[in-house]
Amino acid sequence: MTRYAHADPAARRIIFWRHGRTEWNHAGLFQGQEDIDLDDTGRDQAARAAEILMARGPSSIISSDLRRAADTATALAERTGLPVSYDKRLRETDAGQWQGLSFAAIDEQFPDDNAAWRGGDPDVRAGGAENRLEVGERMLAAVTDAVARIAPAETLVVVSHGGSIRAALAALMGLPPARWGALAGLSNCHWSEVHEVVGRSDALFSWQLTEHNVGLGSLPAEPLEG
């Protein structure tokens, strides 16, 4: 289990783990809530990353119910013996009309909305469906429910998606929406870790980001949303 010199030994920890690669990731298609399987590379990524995360001593695993996240979570469950709890609130952004389109096609067909989305506008609805604030709210609710069930010094692993994890991190740490873009996206099968700041009850400083977008090291960056 990784320990940090500045961390309170009673602090709870949350690891946000993005799923492994899919064919749609590799092709540069916006997956959103389409239920796409891991490809062979993604399954290998999940197996290798699970070996690393197992050493962190996870206490609980929750996952999006979409197959690419659920199968990634299974790789860790098989190594730890922990059950996986599935929560629809951990799904990727519902991207409506954009789902299944390439990012180039989205830019061509929806130039204004896509420019606002890529610029970090928190109110723009991806493909006419969800906006980032709504994603952050449901992700935060799911994570808050799950972390309440773990004890001090325990670690929760949240298996989800690139866009929804970034929204969750921003919401959890109380970042103003205009600053959400300061968080880089996660590569496939990479993770970020936050530690509880023990003794602080205010939402803004209750959690501290200690690792971001770490993982297997040599993976290429794939499109964020998915």
Give tens-digit pLDDT for 11-60. 999 999 999 999 999 999 999 999 999 999 999 999 999 999 999 999 99
Distance in angstroms (rounded) separating the CA atoms of residues 52 and 144? 25
Higher pLDDT, 197 or 40: 40
Distance in angstroms (rounded) separating the CA atoms of residues 24 and 182? 26
Catalytic positions are: 19, 92
How far, in Å, are 10, 13, 144, 161 from residue 135 at the CA level?
Answer: 29, 21, 14, 11
Q: Answer whether residue 134 shows pLDDT above 90.
A: yes
Q: Answer whether residue 218 shows pLDDT above 90.
A: no
Phi and psi (nearest 5°) for 159?
A: -100, 120
In the three-class reduction of DSSP (H, G, I as helix; E, B as strand; rest coil), residue 187 is classed as coil
**What is the pTM for the complete model shown?**
0.91
Q: Answer whether residue 10 shows pLDDT above 90.
A: no
- Mean pLDDT confidence for 61-68: 98
- Mean pLDDT confidence for 153-160: 97
Q: Answer whether residue 219 shows pLDDT above 60.
A: no
- Mean pLDDT confidence for 104-118: 92
Position 220 confidence tier, pLDDT thresholds 50, 70, 90: very low
